[in-house]
Structure 1
């Protein structure tokens, strides 16, 4: 028998979401389902929290009773690929994971990568492995307040990177879709057509761009030749250039070193040259992990917004594909 309460359905590998949401939303009836999601769920639930890779069976269906989906992922590229391959746009409302703590985690990864590259810690580890004491090889580094950091994509995560690195004294420049005036954290903004100018000016490049048709291969075709021995950190998506573009840039000295957390193919294939390149650090898409605490916090914030007739934060624009 129905309790008369609104129903929230959860379809996620993060089992902790269910227990947390029951604490903060006692007014909801919470139901957990295992994938695959069936279209019938659109008639049976008011709200849905789901991993994006579970949404394919319902993405192009009429939402019926379902008011909105809170996603557990920050990146929407899995869904963007489904939409790009279809001949219609979804009508379901889906929001990405947008939370200050998630953005902070991503920014902390970037700060650590800059410091690791600048201080030569990769070389330090190799010297330790060989039991070589060679301080003279590790003393050619700069302070963070001497560095210019170019951030490709200054949205929620890019802004968090800018704020954190600016706090260390870095000069921040950013790449965005449309012209912007400088602000407290970013001294100059560049548009996509000016990417080479940004690359020439930066000691480190941090890619935070989403995967969209507009960002595909924007660093390919020797665009990275504009870099002046920069460090490259990719926490956005692997579509901005090919693997060979990065390897060529490293081998030609355009890039000094690379920290790569995202790739065009994941898991990274065993035959990828990144695994063994001496100036590449590979991390398995862990710069920022989706955690139940932030997901439930986002859901609660957006639930309250919808109750007031407002749009949820992080709502995916199906026409812009992000």
Structure 2
């Protein structure tokens, strides 16, 4: 029998315990689920991990075959020198579907100019129709599993979709760009820009005064990816000047976003409280258990983190 350590938020244990138990039973994997302190570290076969859990030192877990993250982002653990076991990040259907729905909803909101009609009920009649989707250029920065899924969905709606990533990608219906020249091309096209990039040294402040100036005047930015991607001061200045017309932000350098932060009061910023891609326990449990099955069968793990790249 395997020993699986749950090292996530304590408040979520009543939810994850039955979800993981059910998934393991369905997969025919005999296992004991334990909390930190209930079992000796050297007896643990797999760790179900979140940064909100108590385990910070992985050295005692000499038998552990993999650390399986419940979060898509691994920046808070990938640099931990004590973590020598394979690390796998979370990519599951619930998280992917949540990201697709958030991105699609806010792209359509920006594309259709919905804020004007929702917020202005003054009685002024301006019968100006928005362009159709094929006339609108949407750019996705980051073409991993979540970015690619959003790009495909938006392309299926008829938008002119471009995507940029550090390494070349191919996605049907999407003009895929890469490298420094590709980034400049992507930004120049981006009437609506969606950032779904990981948190790495290379992505920190990628959207800064210089790169924001390369975008079409009045462009819209949506960030459901990582807060470090945006230079906050540069974005606020670009919003004040009109270079950027509106920003909808779901992720921030400090969370919860402090009440005094200028984003809250800015008339051209919408703040959402990190809800774009929430891990759903039932679907996440199936991904965790599939990786346990793979580990026991000697098969490659799903979504294994490349330590050098940071994701």
Q: Distance in 2 between matches of 1:292 and 1:262?
A: 21
Q: TM-score, normalised by structure 2?
A: 0.90
Unaligned runs of 5+ in 2: none
- Is 2:158 aligned against 1:169? yes
Aligned match of 1:216: 204
**Count of aligned residue pairs for this structure pair:** 304
Distance 1:66 1:188, change over 3 A: closer
Displacement of 1:276 in angstroms is 1.1
C-alpha contact (below 8 Å) 1:203/1:231 kept by paired residues: yes
Of the structure 1 ranges 312-321 and 40-49, higher mean CA displacement relative to structure 2 is found in 40-49
- Using the alignment, how far apart are the partners of 2:7 and 2:176 within structure 1? 42
Measured after TM superposition, the shift of residue 282 of structure 1 is 0.3
Distance, in Å, in 2 between the alignment partners of 1:215 and 1:52 is 21
Q: How does 1:98-177 map to 2 (within 5 A)?
A: 98-128=91-121, 132-136=122-126, 139-177=128-166
Over 3 Å counting, the alpha-carbon distance change for 1:220 and 1:185 in structure 2 is same
Distance 2:309 2:39 in 1: 28
Shift in Å, 1:91 = 0.5
* In structure 1, distance between residues paired with 2:106 and 2:294: 36
Runs of 4+ in 1 over 4 A off after TM superposition: 37-41
Q: Distance in 1 between matches of 2:66 and 2:280?
A: 20
Q: Give 2:242's aligned residue.
A: 253
Partner of residue 267, structure 1: 256
CA change 1:32–1:170 in 2 (3 A) is same
Pairwise CA distance, 1:153: 0.6
How far, CA to CA, are the matches of 1:204 and 1:56 in structure 2?
40
User: Matches of 1:89 and 1:192 in 2, distance apart?
Assistant: 34
What's the CA shift for 1:41? Answer: 4.5
CA deviations 1:81-118 (Å, max 9, x no partner) are xx2xx6x4631222111113311210211111111122
Structure 1 position 73, deviation (Å): 0.7
Match of 1:8?
Answer: 4
C-alpha contact 2:7 2:55 (8 A) present in aligned 1: no
Counterpart of 2:183 in structure 1 is 195
Could you give the per-residue CA deviations for residues 133-173 of structure 1, whole angstroms, max 9, x where no partner exists? 2341x735222232211111100000110111011011221
Classify the secondary structure of the residue corresponding to 1:164: helix
Judge conservation of contact 2:7–2:54 (CA < 8 Å) in 1. Answer: no
Does the CA-based 8 Å contact 1:22-1:28 persist in structure 2? Answer: no
Instruction: For 1:281-320, list aligned pairs within 5 A.
Output: 281-320=270-309
TM-score in terms of structure 1 length = 0.87
Structure 1 alignment gaps of length 5 or more: none
Q: Does 1:31 align with 2:33?
A: yes
Residue of structure 2 equivalent to 1:278 = 267
